[in-house]
Amino acid sequence: MPSLIHHAEILSLLAEGASLLGRTPDREKIRLLRDRVAETRRMHGLEGSSAGEETLVWLTVLDALVERLLHDQEAMAALSTVKAFYEDVLASLIEGVVVIDPSRRITLVNRAAEEIVGITSEEAVGRSLDDVFRDLTEIASLATQTFETGRSFSNNDALLRRSGGETRAIGVMTSIVAGSGGGITGVVAVLRDLTSVREMEEQVRRAERLSALGVLAAGIAHEVRNPLAGVRGAAQLLRSEVRDNQALVPYTDVIVREVDRLDRIVTGLLPFASPRTFSYGPVNIHSVLDRVLLLEQPRASAAGVGFQREYDPSLPPVRGNEEQLAQVFLNLVRNGVEAMPAGGRLTVTTRVPDPFMAIRREGERMRMIQVRVADAGVGIPPEATASLFTPFFTTKDHGTGLGLALSHQIVTEHGGAIRVESEPGRGSAFSVTLPMVQEETPPEKPGRGARRRARTKQEDAV
């Protein structure tokens, strides 16, 4: 008959196995327990009828315990796999997802919601919905209605003002999270950043206005230019006739200058007349920017303005037309220099935005690069920023108001976007996003680590 030593060893193994129940399965401890059970059987010959009835009962219990632990381990492994899959799905969504429990506390925030709202999951989870989204009250309002009625609600006209002063157009939709018993266990709010959609709608409206303006310009260019040439010639002839009367000569000079200015305006309108076709290919944006800065260096030095380059050396080529892009950045750099009459520093920065920040065109997800031209000048009044890209609108005393309108059209034709941020008295920053040359391999999944970026900084002496 087996001795008490055998029973003590079996009970010790049972106690060890029981201590593993209800915990996260430890693969190594379960393996060691299984091996020790097999070793105890072998050493003491506890097999079959030789084990005795009582010992067989204990061995049966021990076997069942080991089997339960192995089953729990497999179940937890499967659960971890499913959990990781759903976490990857949530991290890959373009829409933001926020889950709220019945006590109005946030239980989940996915990566897109972090990007849209400007708050991390660690900062939001566990806090009150009203505290986290105090600047986006539509979420709390819609969530309350969904909790009360069990129905879905949406609002596509919400505005979110982020901590940096940036305002975003947000679409919000809420629906219930139903438990297994059919009761409401929470509410899920889906957030969609509609800023780019609103900007695209404005671009379409602006393009329609520019197209109408271009048709008008093409129609009157010939009719206006011919009389202008006649007026200019007559003014020059008149000047030669009255050169002895110094009181009249300045008036003839005014006529010539104004005729030349009107001719420049008509010439500036012609590019809007019809869609233009250019050859597009890979463009090194840093080469374009360096060429523009070299061209503007004499003007900048005379104004006491220095250039600072902050380039991302890993920046891939963009798809575009080099001459057209040079015209865009020449306009932006020149405007920045002119905005600092007392001198200062103009910073040109290039970077690849977060991999999540991409746009879809014709069903294809396109990665973008960003160029930022920032000055430390007088800034632009808030009421003027909305009209900056409208033809003939200018904040300069002697501007035509066509440079930014043409730059906007060029960037749009390249499939990009241009945006301005400005604060009166502190300067302005124009950000241009352009599609990079698309690779054949799919982009890296979001949420797999931050991209490390080295920057080179070069400062030119004023």
Predicted pLDDT at 42: 64
Domain endpoint, select from 130, 158, 193:
193
Predicted pLDDT at 59: 62
Residue 400 has pLDDT above 70, yes or no: no
- Same domain for 25 and 141, yes or no, is no
Domain endpoint, select from 154, 171, 193:
193
Predicted pLDDT at 287: 93
pLDDT tier for residue 432 given thresholds of 50, 70 and 90: very high
- Same domain for 128 and 251, yes or no, is no
Residue 443 has pLDDT above 50, yes or no: no
Q: CA-CA distance, 446 to 56, in Å (whole number)?
A: 55
How many other C-beta atoms lie within 10 A of the C-beta of residue 321?
18
Beta partners for residue 422, in sequence order = 428
Determine phi and psi for 241, rounding to 5 degrees: -80, -30
- Same domain for 302 and 451, yes or no, is yes
- Token duo for residue 289: 């920017």
- Same domain for 313 and 420, yes or no, is yes
Contact between 395 and 380 under an 8 Å Cβ cutoff? The reply is yes
- Same domain for 245 and 363, yes or no, is no
- Same domain for 324 and 455, yes or no, is yes
Predicted pLDDT at 406: 81
Structural domain for 218, as ranges: 200-275
SS3 at position 331? helix
Give the residue with greater pLDDT, 319 vs 456. 319
Question: For residue 394, what is the domain's CATH number?
Answer: 3.30.565.10
SS3 at position 266? helix
- Same domain for 354 and 302, yes or no, is yes
Kindly give, in sequence order, each residue whose CB lies less than 8 Å from that of residue 338, ignoring residues fewer than 6 positions away.
303, 396
- Token duo for residue 97: 């997802």
Q: CA-CA distance, 292 to 287, in Å (whole number)?
A: 9
pLDDT tier for residue 348 given thresholds of 50, 70 and 90: very high
- Same domain for 86 and 102, yes or no, is no
Predicted pLDDT at 332: 93
Report percent pLDDT > 70 for the chain: 66
pLDDT tier for residue 356 given thresholds of 50, 70 and 90: very low
Residue 25 has pLDDT above 80, yes or no: no
For the CA atoms of 267, 270, 271, 272, the dihedral, rounded to the nearest 10 degrees, stands at 130
pLDDT tier for residue 4 given thresholds of 50, 70 and 90: very low
Predicted pLDDT at 144: 87
Q: How confident is the model over 68-86, as a mean pLDDT?
A: 70
- Same domain for 257 and 334, yes or no, is no
**Total tally of structural domains belonging to the chain:** 4
Domain endpoint, select from 35, 60, 91:
91
Q: What is the pLDDT of residues 242-269, one digit of tens each?
A: 777 777 778 888 888 888 878 877 776 6
- Same domain for 296 and 436, yes or no, is yes
Residue 328 has pLDDT above 50, yes or no: yes
Residue 86 has pLDDT above 50, yes or no: yes
In the DSSP assignment, the letter for residue 22 is T
Output the DSSP codes for 27-78: HHHHHHHHHHHHHHHHHHT--GGGG-HHHHHHHHHHHHHHHHHHHHHHHHHH
- Same domain for 266 and 224, yes or no, is yes
| Average per-residue pLDDT for the chain | 76
Out of 67-81, 243-257, 420-434, the most confident range is: 420-434
Residue 311 has pLDDT above 90, yes or no: yes
Q: CA-CA distance, 353 to 372, in Å (whole number)?
A: 12
- Same domain for 309 and 411, yes or no, is yes
Predicted pLDDT at 140: 83
Predicted pLDDT at 449: 38
Q: How confident is the model over 189-212, as a mean pLDDT?
A: 75
